[in-house]
Structures are given as structure tokens and as C-alpha cells.
């Protein structure tokens, strides 16, 4: 029985009689076949890609288990499921595809996990206005394929494209690999349809912009399931690009690469892909370039004449910083490999602990934050590698993405916690922001006070107003303490 399985973060569970009553009513709402309390279904909904989950599950223990999984097909069904849960004070965990990197779907207090996968339709493709209205449970790769068939792109390519959902992107403020041209998910989101815990359904206007007060639908962006459930969204789309230009360069120093990017962003160019790797990652991803120089990968796309002009401006900027051209083939190689996510599982199997920590810097601290975080991570006993790259660039700065691999001698969870504590301290000291796109989930909640200051109290007030019974994804976003993880 699932409830006899050992869990490490389960804070509480709902009394079984209450859950049975809920399950009976939920079955009337979504149909008998669309709810389950089977062990396999509870187990598959109990985790995401948070490395702590992988560490525990390899040791035969689980983070926490839901008591029921429900698969609604319509917004009306989501509304009824939530209203009922609210009435019975049953915790609700929204679930997209479970690719979150920080424990966001771990059902700390049991209750019902609402899996959105059956809400997977494109409702309207509005070609004239370049908008698509899509249900939140649609898988990322299927979303993009459907748009491609009609001659468009969604422009959003997280590395997890094939294992994440549109709703998960919106709930976590995700960023895709082509973000410098197309924007992050919040730039694409024109309006959201969402359901509040009391069952209220609301949506925003599908117009380019409004000035009729704060956009309440946009409140759900980045809310990670703590305020309500996003059921659909109207997103911007683009015609498939007429031309694509690939280029790569190498720099003797990482700082020169950063300066080159700052210059071409300042000049107004917006290449879709900009990735600058340190020497270690250059050697790992492009062995033929060695690990003595730092590789810059660029992909420019769109209108052919604009692409040519951008390529020329960018070439001038990077050469002014001493870049050497390395051709298009490294970008082709990256394009081929960019959704491969198997390396982490392989390393976990070999006993390693691996994680990635993405933070946001301005230009003035982009390089020093890298040095400080690398130093901090290498300083934790057991760390074998701490490397980094920059991507998702802006006129005002860039995301810094650190990868760390360790083979700790002792308890892996203690090592994992130490890694993050030291990395977050270094990031804070440098004045960088604690996350660029992976979000908070359970784990990053530990540092939300440092990140937000008094802003966290404002967020808590919004949470209390929209979710007075506290049923939505309890313990996430740092909105309340989670003793079992904090200790
Ligand atoms: C290998 C790998 C690569 C990754 N690469 C990227 C990347 O390039 N860019 C990036 O931004 N992220 C990346 N991520 C992180 C992750 O894929 C994103 O956060 C993604 O947006 C999560 O989507 P999901 O559908 O899997 O959400 P889940 O993991 O199912 O859920 C994430 C959170 O959102 C909530 N949620 C899910 N759906 C809804 C909904 N409809 N309404 C309300 N709340 C909801 C959940 O409760 C949870 O708190 C990566 C993760 C992995 C494992």
C-alpha cells in the first residue's frame, strides 16, 4: 500500500474518510476512469526532477505521496474539483509533466494531485492576430509541432521541451533557449484563464496590452500552483523564420565574451540563441575546441534581410573583443543535442549528485558572480566539477547557469544542502537574483526572504486573500515553513 511506503517530507495526510468522500464526488465530476488512488499513479505523481527526489528514490524512499490523482478534461471540471477541495480543506497539487527542478509537485500534505494532461487542446489558432489559445496540460513538444504544421512557432524551447507542459511553463516563469529573440514565457503570455481555490474561473483580455489596473490573470505567472490552476493561455506566436544564420566564436577569456554580448545587445540586435560557455563547458560540449578558450554559440533567425544585418553587427562587436570565428558546425551540433537530458540520470546511477543552479546577473556582476559561485561550489567537500555558461541575455545582463557534480563521501542530502547554501550565499553577496527560470518549488523557498525582503509579506497577503484555506500546493514558494526540509 502506498501509504505504508517510507516518505521523508510528508507533513500530514487528510483523514481517509474525508478523502473517500472527495473521491466519490470527484468521480462524478471527471468520471470513474479519470481518478485514481492506485499505487502506480500516486507514485508517478509524487515527484519531479528535483535531485533530492532522485537521491531518495534510489534509496527506496519517497518525498511525499498524494492520496488521489484526478485528470480533469475541462475548465468547468477543474472549477468543481477545486471548489469541493476547498470546502473539505483538502490540499491540492497541480501537476503538469513533473519536470520541475525544485520539488514543486511534492504533495507535502497529501490530498489530491490534479494532473492537467487531458487538458491538451489548442482551442484557437488566430493567424491574423498571431495568437494561440492553448490548454495548459499540452506537452511542450506537441504544442510546438502543432504550430509548426500550421507554419508558426511558439518560440519557446526549454531544454525540457519534451517533458514539460504549457501550464508548467507559465506557473514557473520558464525561459526557452531562443529567449533572447522571442522572450520568456511571460513575454509570450497575452492572457491566462485560471481557476481560484473557491472555483472562480477568470481570464484576461486577449489584447496586446491593457491599462485598467494590475493584470490579475498575470498574477498566476510564476505562482507555481500556490494561488490557483492555470487552465489555458493565449500566447504570442511567430511565422516560421525565413532564414536562420548560425555562427560560433571563441574567446581567450570569459570576460571578453561577456563584453562582446553586452555590446551587441546594446546595439539592438536580438539573436534567438546566445550561449557563452566557460573553458570547462567548452571542452565538454565541443571537445574539438579544447578547454582553453570560451565558446560563444549564436543563432539568428527571422526575416532574411534583418538576419543578415544582425549577423554583420554582431560579427563586428565580437571581433572588437578579440573573438576568433569557429564556424557554424558547433551550433549544428548543439541544435542536435539540445534536448538530451539523459546525462543526469547516468551520473546519479554512478553515485554522483548533480544539479544546475541558474541565477540572474547584471553586466557589472556577471563575471564576479560566476567566480564566486564556482569557488563556493568547489569549496564543498566532494565536489568534482563546477562549471558555467551564460544564456538568456538582455541589454541589462544575463542568466548564469552553473552545473555542479560531486561524489560526496557521506550523506548525499547533507552534501546537496551544503552546495546550495554556499552557492546561494555567494550569489546573494554578489547581488545577483536567486533564480532566472527554474523557479522556487520547495527547495528554493529556503532563500525567499533573502530574495524578496518585505516583498515576501506582500506575496503572503495575496496568497491569504486568494487561498484563505491554504489548500493550494502548501509549503511551496517559501510562503510557509517546511520543517522537515528546513531542519
Ligand atoms: C532536464 C531539464 C531541463 C530543463 N530546462 C529548462 C529550461 O531550459 N528552461 C526552463 O525554464 N526550465 C527548465 N527546466 C525546468 C522545468 O522543465 C520547467 O520549470 C517547466 O516549466 C515545468 O513544467 P512542467 O509541466 O513539467 O511542470 P511541473 O513540474 O509539473 O510543475 C511545476 C510547478 O508548476 C505547478 N503547475 C504545473 N502546472 C500548473 C498549472 N496548469 N497551473 C498551476 N500550477 C501548475 C506545479 O504545481 C509545480 O509547482 C528543466 C528541467 C529539467 C529536468
CA 353 to ligand 1 centroid distance, Å:
21
Helix axes 366-378, 412-430, angle to 10 degrees: 150
| Maximum Cα–Cα distance across the chain | 71
How far are the Cα atoms of 345, 469, 472 from residue 63, in angstroms, in the given order? 18, 23, 18
Would you state the pLDDT for residue 4? 67
Q: Report which ligand 1 atom has the smallest distance to the Cα of 174.
A: 11
267 has pLDDT over 80: yes
Q: Looking at ligand 1, which residue's alpha carbon is closest to its atom 19?
A: 100
Would you state the pLDDT for residue 343? 83
Rounded to an integer, what distance in angstroms lies between the CA atom of residue 270 and that of residue 279?
A: 25
Q: Report which ligand 1 atom has the smallest distance to the Cα of 49.
A: 53
What is the rounded average pLDDT of the residues 52-64? 94
Q: Report which ligand 1 atom has the smallest distance to the Cα of 230.
A: 42
Which residues approach ligand 1 with their CB closer than 6 A? 48-49, 93-101, 104-105, 116, 136, 158-160, 164-165, 167-169, 171-172, 174-175, 224-225, 229-230, 341, 437-439, 473, 476
CA 100 to ligand 1 centroid distance, Å:
4
Q: Report which ligand 1 atom has the smallest distance to the Cα of 177.
A: 8
Rounded to an integer, what distance in angstroms lies between the CA atom of residue 183 and that of residue 180?
A: 6
Q: What CATH number does domain 2-116 carry, 3.40.50.10490, 3.30.43.10, 3.30.420.40, 3.30.450.20?
A: 3.30.43.10
Would you state the pLDDT for residue 402? 98
Mean pLDDT value across the chain? 97
Q: Which fold has domain 342-439?
A: GMP Synthetase; Chain A, domain 3 (3.30.300)
CA 48 to ligand 1 centroid distance, Å:
9
What is the rounded average pLDDT of the residues 265-290? 97
| CATH number 3.40.50.300 is the correct assignment for the domain at 122-239 | no
Would you state the pLDDT for residue 239? 98
Rounded to an integer, what distance in angstroms lies between the CA atom of residue 404 and that of residue 394?
A: 25
CA 251 to ligand 1 centroid distance, Å:
33
Would you state the pLDDT for residue 3? 53
Minimal CA–CA distance to 344: which of 405, 293, 386, 297?
A: 405
2 has pLDDT over 80: no
What is the rounded average pLDDT of the residues 227-247? 98
- pLDDT tens for residues 375-418? 999 999 999 999 999 999 999 999 999 999 999 999 999 999 99
Q: Report which ligand 1 atom has the smallest distance to the Cα of 476.
A: 49
Contact (CB, 8 A) for 247 and 296 = no
Angle 170-173-179 from CA coordinates, rounded to 5° = 105
Q: pLDDT band for position 305 (50/70/90)? A: very high
Would you state the pLDDT for residue 81? 98
Rounded to an integer, what distance in angstroms lies between the CA atom of residue 371 and that of residue 375?
A: 6
Q: pLDDT band for position 169 (50/70/90)? A: very high
Q: pLDDT band for position 486 (50/70/90)? A: confident
Q: Report which ligand 1 atom has the smallest distance to the Cα of 140.
A: 25
Rounded to an integer, what distance in angstroms lies between the CA atom of residue 451 and that of residue 435?
A: 9
Would you state the pLDDT for residue 445? 96
What is the rounded average pLDDT of the residues 70-95? 98
- pLDDT tens for residues 320-341? 999 999 999 999 999 999 999 8
- pLDDT tens for residues 128-158? 999 999 999 999 999 999 999 999 999 999 9
Contact (CB, 8 A) for 233 and 135 = no
CA 171 to ligand 1 centroid distance, Å:
7
Contact (CB, 8 A) for 168 and 187 = no
How far are the Cα atoms of 180, 369, 423, 444, 450 from residue 429, in angstroms, in the given order? 27, 9, 10, 17, 11
CA 476 to ligand 1 centroid distance, Å:
14
Q: What pTM was computed for the model?
A: 0.97
CA 3 to ligand 1 centroid distance, Å:
26
The residue ranges of every structural domain in the chain are 2-116, 122-239, 243-337, 342-439
Mutational pocket test of ligand 1: of 109, 140, 164, the residue with most ligand atoms within 8 Å of the beta carbon = 164
**Does residue 359 sit in helix, strand or coil?**
strand
What is the rounded average pLDDT of the residues 169-195? 98
Rounded to an integer, what distance in angstroms lies between the CA atom of residue 385 and that of residue 362?
A: 25
Would you state the pLDDT for residue 368? 98
Rounded to an integer, what distance in angstroms lies between the CA atom of residue 287 and that of residue 9?
A: 41
42 has pLDDT over 90: yes
Rounded to an integer, what distance in angstroms lies between the CA atom of residue 296 and that of residue 273?
A: 10
- Residue 461's CB: how many other CB atoms inside 10 A? 10
Would you state the pLDDT for residue 297? 97
What is the architecture of the domain spanning 243-337? 2-Layer Sandwich (3.30)
- pLDDT tens for residues 413-466? 999 999 999 999 999 999 999 999 999 999 999 999 999 999 999 999 999 999
Q: pLDDT band for position 346 (50/70/90)? A: confident
Rounded to an integer, what distance in angstroms lies between the CA atom of residue 51 and that of residue 353?
A: 8
CATH topology identical between 2-116 and 342-439: no
The DSSP secondary-structure symbol of 102 reads S
Amino acid at each position: 500500500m502506498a501509504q505504508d511506503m517510507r516518505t521523508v517530507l510528508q507533513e500530514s495526510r487528510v483523514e481517509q474518510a474525508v478523502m473517500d468522500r472527495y473521491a466519490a464526488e470527484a468521480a462524478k465530476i471527471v468520471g470513474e476512469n479519470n481518478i485514481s488512488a492506485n499505487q502506480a499513479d500516486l507514485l508517478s505523481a509524487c515527484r519531479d526532477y528535483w535531485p533530492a527526489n532522485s537521491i531518495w528514490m534510489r534509496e527506496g524512499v519517497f518525498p511525499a505521496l498524494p492520496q488521489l490523482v484526478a485528470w480533469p478534461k475541462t475548465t468547468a471540471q477543474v472549477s468543481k474539483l477545486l471548489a469541493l477541495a476547498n470546502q473539505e480543506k483538502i490540499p491540492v497539487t497541480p501537476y503538469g509533466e513533473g519536470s520541475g527542478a525544485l520539488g514543486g509537485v511534492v504533495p507535502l500534505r497529501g490530498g489530491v494531485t490534479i494532473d492537467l494532461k487531458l487538458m491538451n487542446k489548442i482551442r484557437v489558432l488566430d493567424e491574423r492576430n498571431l495568437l494561440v489559445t492553448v490548454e495548459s496540460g499540452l506537452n511542450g513538444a506537441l504544442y510546438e509541432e502543432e504550430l509548426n504544421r500550421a507554419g508558426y512557432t511558439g518560440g519557446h524551447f526549454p531544454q525540457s521541451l519534451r517533458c514539460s507542459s504549457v501550464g508548467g511553463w507559465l506557473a514557473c516563469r520558464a525561459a526557452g533557449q531562443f529567449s533572447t529573440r522571442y522572450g520568456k514565457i511571460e513575454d509570450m503570455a497575452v492572457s491566462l484563464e485560471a481557476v481560484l481555490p473557491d472555483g472562480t474561473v477568470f481570464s484576461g483580455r486577449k489584447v496586446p496590452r491593457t491599462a485598467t489596473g494590475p493584470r490579475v490573470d498575470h498574477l498566476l505567472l510564476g505562482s507555481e500552483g500556490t494561488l490557483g490552476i492555470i487552465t489555458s493561455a493565449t500566447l504570442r506566436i511567430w511565422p516560421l523564420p525565413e532564414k536562420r544564420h548560425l555562427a560560433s566564436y571563441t574567446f581567450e577569456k570569459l570576460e571578453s565574451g561577456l563584453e562582446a554580448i553586452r555590446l551587441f545587445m546594446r546595439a539592438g540586435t536580438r539573436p534567438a540563441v546566445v550561449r557563452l560557455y566557460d573553458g570547462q563547458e567548452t571542452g565538454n560540449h565541443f571537445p574539438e575546441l579544447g578547454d582553453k578558450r570560451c565558446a560563444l554559440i549564436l543563432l539568428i533567425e527571422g526575416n532574411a534581410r534583418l538576419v543578415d544585418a544582425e549577423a554583420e553587427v554582431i560579427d563586428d562587436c565580437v571581433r572588437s573583443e578579440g573573438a576568433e570565428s569557429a564556424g557554424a558546425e558547433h551550433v549544428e551540433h548543439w541544435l542536435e543535442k539540445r534536448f538530451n537530458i539523459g546525462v543526469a540520470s547516468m551520473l546519479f546511477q554512478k553515485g554522483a549528485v548533480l544539479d544546475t543552479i541558474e541565477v540572474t546577473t547584471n553586466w557589472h556582476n556577471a563575471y564576479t558572480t560566476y567566480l564566486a559561485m564556482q569557488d563556493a561550489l568547489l569549496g564543498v567537500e566532494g565536489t568534482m566539477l563546477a562549471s558555467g555558461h551564460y544564456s538568456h541575455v538582455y541589454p541589462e545582463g544575463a542568466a548564469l547557469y552553473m552545473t555542479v557534480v560531486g561524489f560526496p563521501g557521506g550523506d548525499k542530502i547533507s552534501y546537496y544542502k551544503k552546495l546550495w547554501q554556499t552557492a546561494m550565499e555567494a550569489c546573494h553577496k554578489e547581488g545577483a537574483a536567486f533564480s532566472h527560470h527554474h523557479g522556487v518549488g520547495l527547495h528554493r523557498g529556503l532563500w525567499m526572504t533573502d530574495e524578496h525582503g518585505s516583498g515576501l509579506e506582500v506575496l503572503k497577503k495575496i496568497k491569504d486573500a486568494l487561498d484563505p484555506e491554504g489548500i493550494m500546493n502548501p509549503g511551496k514558494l517559501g510562503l510557509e515553513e517546511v520543517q522537515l526540509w528546513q531542519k
